[in-house]
Structure 1
């Protein structure tokens, strides 16, 4: 899981795909952290993406870095504990503190469950990481 976290942090921006009915929806994300051995993402509970993940927790993340790319399949599970929000805020203070506070009522964190990450390149074999 640490390799996936490091990869996503190195990318800076990664793209999260959800579904809305039968339509895929993709948008850029940038906040990721580790808490209690799980990989977390963050969003705002007023956004459509949050509603989409609540209705169908299956998500995919994709990003590119230095001639490689990652595809990460998982289930996004809401964690409403303050400690989880604090960990995310601490790991992403520069970007998240401009938009959220830990107790603002809109800041949400979700961990990735049953995750499979595949890191690929044009020159090597894919590397699969499950967590």
Structure 2
């Protein structure tokens, strides 16, 4: 399994995971729960009206982490690429997911609903024993 699929499988197997950004020198962490694959890249969904989007515009570096009981946790870091090139299928899946969370949008093409991917991704599967096992993300991105 390639690195992108490994990370997506991990993120979509838990109810929520946490994405961290910075606003100046203040870190901000919030729950996320949508991740999808398109063209070998991981896509995330948010809204242009949210603080997280504004923070990623100002400083695209982010890190996320998710814990899966019995499997340790995952760490993914990189730079947000806010150029929204999500396919119709990813947009529909993201829209349906966000509506399921209670958010309101006019449809998958609502101009406030936006999708972003990660440039220069680095990822690890970590365990309580202190091991950080790298996930080969570059190879998956190079093929896309």
Structure-2-length-normalised TM-score: 0.81
Match of 2:75 in 1: 71
Does the 8 Å contact 1:60/1:71 carry over to 2? yes
Q: Give the paired residue count.
A: 129
* Structure 2: segments with no counterpart, 5+ residues: 138-144
Deviation at 1:125, TM superposition (A): 3.4
TM-align CA RMSD? 1.8
Deviation at 1:96, TM superposition (A): 2.3
Cα deviation code 1:1-42 (max 9, x no counterpart): 110110001113110000001000000000100111100111
2:17 is the alignment partner of 1:14: yes
> What is the distance in 2 between the residues matched to 1:41 and 1:19?
18
> What is the distance in 2 between the residues matched to 1:51 and 1:59?
13
Structure-1-length-normalised TM-score: 0.88
Does the 8 Å contact 1:33/1:88 carry over to 2? yes
Higher strand share: 1
Cα deviation code 1:63-108 (max 9, x no counterpart): 1002311111111111323xx1523234445422443322211000
Does the 8 Å contact 1:85/1:108 carry over to 2? no
Does the 8 Å contact 1:35/1:87 carry over to 2? no
Match of 1:112 in 2: 118
Q: Runs of 4+ in structure 1 displaced over 3 angstroms?
A: 89-94, 97-100
> What is the distance in 2 between the residues matched to 1:74 and 1:104?
27
> What is the distance in 1 between the residues matched to 2:96 and 2:110?
17
Does the 8 Å contact 1:32/1:41 carry over to 2? yes
> What is the distance in 2 between the residues matched to 1:20 and 1:64?
25
